[in-house]
Structure formats: C-alpha cells, structure tokens
Structure 1
Amino acid sequence: MQKLLAGASVAGAVFVMAVPAQAAKLAISCGAVGQELALCKEGVDAWAKKTGNEVDVISTPNSSTERLAVYQQMLAAGSSDVDIYQIDVIWPGILGNHFVDLNKYMGDEAKEHFQPIIANNTVDGRLVAMPWFTDAGVLYYRKDLLEKYGEKVPETWAQLTQTAQKIEEGERKDGNDKMWGYVFQGRAYEGLTCNALEWVASYGGGTIVEPNGDISINNDKAKEALTTAAGWIGTIAPDGVLGYDEEGARGVFQSGNSVFMRNWPYAWALANSADSPVKGKVGVAPLPKGGEDGQSAATLGGWQLSVSKYSKNPELAADLVKYLTSYDEQKRRAIEGAYNPTIAALYKDKDVLAANPFFGDLYETFTHAVPRPSTATGTKYNKVSSDFWDAVHTTLSGVQTADQALSGLERQLKRTKRSGW
C-alpha cells in the first residue's frame, strides 16, 4: 500500500478499549488541509470507541489532482486496502463505478442533506457518495486595515484591485515591506480552475463548458476576466502566487502579509486560532463581481465519503460513513473547524452560527455556488480542467495573452469533445 500511496503517510486511529475478537479493522482516506486530518481522526476515534472496531486513518496528498491519481491507481488495482475514500465533489462521475450504492444504507438520511449535492453524488441511480462538507470560494479581508484606510469591502474586482494597491503601498511605507494586496490559489492545479472559473463567471463569461456540452470559454468576457487577473501578478499579488495552493495563500494572509485572500471557509477557524497574528481582525464576504453588471461567483467545492466496492467490510464501512456525515458530527466539525455542513438545518443551529457568523450571511453563496463542468464532460473532466488551468497559468505568467490562451484552449477542448464526453 505504501507503494500505491506514493508517499502518503499512514497514521492509525488509536483505540484504547479492548478490541473484541470479532472486531473488524477499516481504513479511511482523509485530507490534511488545515484541520482536516485531526478532525477526521477525532470523529473516527469516537465511532471506533462506540462500536469496538479499529480504523486506520490514511493521509493523502493535499492537491486534489495528486489525490485523484492515487485513488485511480488503487481502485484500478481493485485494492481492498482502503474501505472509505474522501472524494471531491467533481469525482462521482469519474470514480463512481468503484463504489457501493449507499441508498440501501442511508437513503433516509440522504433526504436531510442539500439535494443538489445528493443529485451530484448519484450516478445512474446509485448514491455513490454521502456529502461530508460543502465548500464555496469566499473573500477574506483585514477589517482593521480597511478601517485604517477608510475603505469598504470591495464589491467588484476593480474595487478590490484599487483598494489592495492603496493599502499595500501604505503598509509598505509604514515599514511592512512584505505586505501584499491579494493572494489566491495560482498554482497550475485544480485550485486554479476554481479561482479562474469564479473570475470568468463573475464577468458573465460562462462556465468553460456549458451544461449542454457547448464549449463557451473563448469569449470576450472570459478574456477580460483573465486579463484583469494577469494584471495582479507582481502588483497586488506576489510572483510567488503562481505556485500557491490553499495553504500557501493562507500562510501569507494569516501571517499578516496580505490585505485580501480568496480561500475556502476552513481558513476562518485557523485565522482566528489562539496563535494567529490576525485573530479578530478578519472578515469574510462574497467574492467580488466582474463589474457593476456582473455577479458574485463562487465555485462549488466540497468533499464526500464513498465506500469502496472492494472493501471486505462494506456494511461496517457504510456505518462509519453514516456516523461521520451525521448531524452531530457535522455540527462538531463546523464549530471546531469551520467546515460547511451539508445538512440544511445546521445553518440555523445557534452554536454553529456563533462559531461561524458568516455561515448565515453567506448561506446563498454556499447553496448557489457555480459547479465545475464535470457533469457535462463526464470522464473527460480531468483533461478539460487541466487544459483550462494550463491556459490560465500561461496567461497569469505572461507567456500568452488571454486571447491567445483561450483560442488555443478552445481548439484543445474541441479535440477532446470529438472523442466523446
């Protein structure tokens, strides 16, 4: 399994009670971004103590692109080493054939979750994954710095650019030569697809490939969006942002060296942790619009739990999934780690809202996020996304203009479409 995991680390969830002779041992893959791994282990430990079973918690690569490659390798081999897989919201159509139908184990519970996500996780009538937490891109900002410079939370990308530049220059004059205006996920990976889709959609430039399969990305609005973003590099965003993932961006913002940051909700709890230099100074708002006639667009993210059809204990694995995706466990994760629940009732829970005040204000953002075109492109989504993020990256780095990059991307996507999606 070490060979298949290609460097992923393995940590056993410690079980302190005596294990009955008939107890089973399961393995679950969990992400390690922010507090993910710790919260996963805590939930798993609670279930293990309750049921008298053992569970190994496997930490997989933070990059969703790298994690998918690991999963595909293991599942293609029919490996039984992992019973439960944490999968991205865009993977049910890619990996669904390798997972059991959870309808027979938790069909009633599924009714409590956001139905668009349940629909997303249903492939050919089979519920191949249960929602664990949902995500949408949000804008983090320094409340204290906006107040200091008499600025408001930006509503458009042009306003963000102007405000970021003003505060960056002011703070550098005051002695912080490390200050930047804006950080985001600019590395050439799935995270850049999420960021760039938000830019394009906010300008009214479509969603790369439309739900009916039409390729829409090569248009003037999309070019305007990418040209705007390219103008940030080296001005309000460091050149190094072209290598940032979620944690890279968070590291700069949380250290106090950026005015704005695009990230997922998980960063809220960490930004307000006891040892955070920006604790109490951070606000969260919807991402800016492309212009006065544009719209705020947040890419739909989130992670699900699936049971491998190669598991030797599928019923027990399904019981663990049922526990981890339950109301009480999602509430705990929301309070401790700011992970967005997929159960609607939790957005009215007083304890959850006390820990995450913006959950209520941004409810519409979370429930109306823009999906990536994984449904329209099916098993070809990975190719479509990688071609998109490569085109965006070449634009941001100044290798090509937005017009050149998107014209080339359109040709690539047409070739991919001809082979069927």
Structure 2
Amino acid sequence: MKKVLAGLAAAMALITPTLSQAEKLVIACGSVGMEKDLCTQGAQAWAKKTGHTVEIMSAPTDTSQELAQLQQLMAAGSTDLDVARIDIVWPGILANHFLDLKPYISEDVLKQHFPSIVQNNMVKGKLVAMPWFTDAGVLYYRKDLLEKHGQKPPTTWQELAQSAKVVLEAEKKAGNDKLVGLVFQGKSYEGLTCTAVEWLDSFGGGTIVDPQGKVTLNNPKAVEAVDFFASLVGTVVPRGVLSYEEEGARGAFQSGSAVFMRNWPYAWALANSKDSMVKGKVGVIALPKGGPDGKSTGTLGGWQLGVPKYSKNKELAVDLVKYLTSVEEQKRRAVVGSFNPTITSLYQDKELLAANPFFGSLYDTFINAVPRPTITGAKYNQVSTEFRNAVYATLSGNGKAADNLAKADAKLKALSKGGKW
C-alpha cells in the first residue's frame, strides 16, 4: 500500500504544480487607459488557474519608445520577457526574435479571428503573434454641444472645422473660453503616423507607400490633406495637441474641454465612466471624409501577443497567450474596456453590443480599416519616422506640406532602393 501511495503522490506531482515547481512568467502590459488593469486581471486569472505566477512589465505609452525598448531586449537575447505585446505593424520588424506559434494553435482557433489580422501576423509562413484586440481610428463628439448649437455630426473634415467654429464662438460668448474644437494624437510618434495616414487616405492621397512598394507620398492630395490640418492649428485645433498621445487627447475630451476627438475605441468606456465629465454626452461615428469626393477611413491598429524565442518557459508562455486571446477573455476586455475583439463571432454578442453600441454600427470601419505600409518590412519604423516628422514639421509651422512631404518622399525612395524593401 505504501508503494501505491508513493506512486500516486509522484504521479500527482507531475500533474499539479507544487510551490517549488511553480514558474514565474513576465508579460508586457500596455499603459493606455484601462489596458494595464485588464491585462493584469487576465494574467492573474491564468495564474490562479494554473498555479504559476505572472509579473507585469509596464510598457511606455509612446509606442515608438516601446518598440525601441523591445528591440533592445531582443537584440540582447534577454530572458526577462516571456510574453510581449506586438503592434500590428511590428511582425515584419520582430519576426526573427519570436517563436512560431503555428504548431501550438489549431486551425479551428485561428479561423475564429479576422483572417486579415492572422495573415498580417504571418511572416514567411511563421505565425509571429496571436491577435489580441483590433483597432481603427474613430471620431468622438459632444452630442449635447452639437444639438445645443444646431450642428449635425460631420461627414467631412471641412464640415467638422465649420461646426467646431460655430460651437466655439457661441460658447465663448457664453463665457466658456476654455473649450477647443478638435484634439488628436499630434506628438511626433507612431500615433501621429496613424492619424496622418487617415488624413491622407480620406483626401485620396494614398498611404505613403502603395501595396506594390512604390513610394507615393509626394502627391497633391497628400499635400492638401496635411496643409488643411496645419491650417486648423491655433484656431480649431489647440497648439497643445502637438504634445498629445492618446491619453492627452482623451484627458482633454473627457474633462469637457473639446468638441471633437480622434481616438481609438478604448476611450468609449472611460468617457462614460462614473467620474467622467462627459458621461452620457458622447457620440461615436466613423472619421470624416476629406471633402465630398473623399472617403471615410480609419487606420488599422491593434495589438498581438507573442513569445520571444529567448523565454525560458516557452510552452507556459504560449498557454498564457492562448488564454488571453480566447473568446472569453476578449469578450471580458470588450465589455469592460471597449477593446475591439479580433474574434468575429463576438460582434453578434448582445452583452458586448449593449456595452459598446458603435461596435455594431461601425463594424465596416473596423473590418475595412486602412493599413499602414507594412510592405516596407523591417524598414517600417524608418518609413513611419520620416513621414510623421514631415507632418509634425508642417503642423508646427516649420514649412509647407509641399516641401516637407517632398523631402520625406525623396528620403523614402532612397531607402526603398527602387521599391525593393
């Protein structure tokens, strides 16, 4: 009997983690809005279920800084990170440092997600990361202020500028001189690239580099788009926007200081939280067109989860990724924090749609979002930097769009080596 009991004890030890067998994993969590809290809660739920522990590594709010930090860790072959956040434009940049998840993820599970996002995460047949949540830029507006001053939600950027001026002038006469018209991500970082790609595409000015790899930045429509927004700085758009990331814009809007805001869907839950100054006063629509002949467009965003090949706990890390990207976890994050699922079936979920009504009305915006030029592969970050610096210079009053975009266009053409990225 003693031998039998000893054998059972040994078998159980192989199945159930003991204190000595429990492993500690480190996951990078975002710091924008409710990201860190939701990520931490999900990781802790997995830890409780498995008997392991998870430590949170906070990522910078500036995604450009986050990429640099991640590249430094990977270049050093660091074992300090087991699960990493990967922006939708990073798979081609980071692929060599990450585990291929395809052997661990069934085809049935992959088919649950948007095919375009799964494909985006494939690099030379390797599944670099699993889709976690998707994004597209949207327009938030103050329903109460537009109704009060006889304005309708804008369908073009020109209408938005005009409506903002009407509201600002009327509110100023009433003593509200703190109000501004439009806020967005205007700091020279990846957020400005996302915002400005929307401007270009909405005016018919392309997406910096076309799907065949040709640099298309220097064109009249792109110049018109950037000059238009530069003309608003100091009137409809406050100069402070030039230092705003996502949270800066959200802070201004949520405090009641802005009529319109360009941001990601995550801001919805926070704008309607119990301590928000604009709770119940906010509408969300697709971003405006660049004039009557333009188009409504939102830049494709979103984040994935991947496992660095230097992790000492690869299989456990994969299990954590599978848990955090599951149907149940994506639904929880959507209901609580307005993070768009990458699992298509959730867009018919009644509880999710009740919490985020615009997920249904803007479904086409999310599935048809305009991608950034990831055809540039490992050089994407250089492309993005040249582009946003040119846009930022124009917004700051340092030259006209025609000159700034022409200079950036020339640099990108030299970088592309004839379109062969």
Q: Tell me, yes or no, if the aligned pair for 1:284 and 1:358 is still in contact at 8 Å.
A: yes
Aligned sequence identity (%): 61
Instruction: Please state whether the residue corresponding to 1:231 is helix, strand or coil.
Output: helix
Partner of 2:324: 324
Counterpart AA for 1:112: Q
Counterpart AA for 2:203: Y
Alignment partners' CA distance in 1, 2:396 and 2:72: 32
| Superposed CA offset, 1:80-104 (max 9, x none) | 1100001100000000111111111
Q: Tell me, yes or no, if the aligned pair for 1:19 and 1:53 is still in contact at 8 Å.
A: no
Alignment partners' CA distance in 1, 2:26 and 2:172: 49
Alignment partners' CA distance in 2, 1:19 and 1:395: 60
| Superposed CA offset, 1:58-91 (max 9, x none) | 1011111000000000000000110000110000
Does 2:37 match 1:33? no
Partner of 1:217: 217
Does 2:63 match 1:64? yes
Alignment partners' CA distance in 2, 1:418 and 1:361: 42
Shift of 1:297: 1.1
Partner of 1:46: 45
Instruction: Please state whether the residue corresponding to 2:154 is helix, strand or coil.
Output: coil
Partner of 1:382: 381
Partner of 1:75: 74
Shift of 1:417: 1.1
Instruction: Please state whether the residue corresponding to 1:280 is helix, strand or coil.
Output: coil
Aligned positions of 1:151-190 closer than 5 A: 151-190=151-190
Counterpart AA for 1:183: V
Most deviating of 230-239 and 170-179:
170-179
Partner of 1:13: none
Counterpart AA for 1:411: A
Counterpart AA for 1:66: Q
Partner of 1:411: 410
State the Cα RMSD in Å. Answer: 1.2
Partner of 2:245: 245
Alignment partners' CA distance in 1, 2:306 and 2:173: 52
Aligned positions of 1:99-110 closer than 5 A: 99-108=98-107, 109-110=109-110
Shift of 1:107: 2.8
User: How many equivalent pairs are there?
Assistant: 404
4+ long deviations beyond 2 Å: 18-21
Partner of 2:302: 302
Counterpart AA for 1:146: L
Does 2:320 match 1:290? no
Counterpart AA for 1:67: E
Q: Tell me, yes or no, if the aligned pair for 1:136 and 1:298 is still in contact at 8 Å.
A: yes
Aligned positions of 1:196-207 closer than 5 A: 196-207=196-207
| Superposed CA offset, 1:287-342 (max 9, x none) | 00011111001000000000111111111100000000000000000000000000
Partner of 1:351: 351
Normalising by structure 2, report the TM-score. Answer: 0.95
Partner of 2:233: 233
Partner of 1:122: 122
| Superposed CA offset, 1:224-276 (max 9, x none) | 10111001100011111111110001111000010000000000000000000
Most deviating of 307-316 and 105-114:
105-114
Counterpart AA for 1:382: N
Alignment partners' CA distance in 1, 2:248 and 2:212: 36
Alignment partners' CA distance in 1, 2:144 and 2:398: 37
| Superposed CA offset, 1:189-233 (max 9, x none) | 111111110000001111100010111111111111011100110
Partner of 1:9: none
Shift of 1:407: 1.0
Counterpart AA for 1:337: G
Partner of 1:264: 264
Instruction: Please state whether the residue corresponding to 2:188 is helix, strand or coil.
Output: coil
Instruction: Please state whether the residue corresponding to 1:178 is helix, strand or coil.
Output: coil
Alignment partners' CA distance in 2, 1:19 and 1:250: 45
Normalising by structure 1, report the TM-score. Answer: 0.95
Partner of 1:402: 401
Counterpart AA for 2:382: K
Alignment partners' CA distance in 2, 1:138 and 1:377: 26
Shift of 1:33: 0.2
Counterpart AA for 1:182: L
Alignment partners' CA distance in 2, 1:347 and 1:170: 40
Instruction: Please state whether the residue corresponding to 2:211 is helix, strand or coil.
Output: coil
Partner of 1:392: 391
Shift of 1:418: 2.0
Partner of 1:140: 140
Shift of 1:21: 2.2
Instruction: Please state whether the residue corresponding to 1:21 is helix, strand or coil.
Output: coil
| Superposed CA offset, 1:83-135 (max 9, x none) | 00011000000001111111111133111100000000011111110000000
Alignment partners' CA distance in 1, 2:331 and 2:113: 13
Aligned positions of 1:12-23 closer than 5 A: 20-23=19-22
Larger Rg: 2
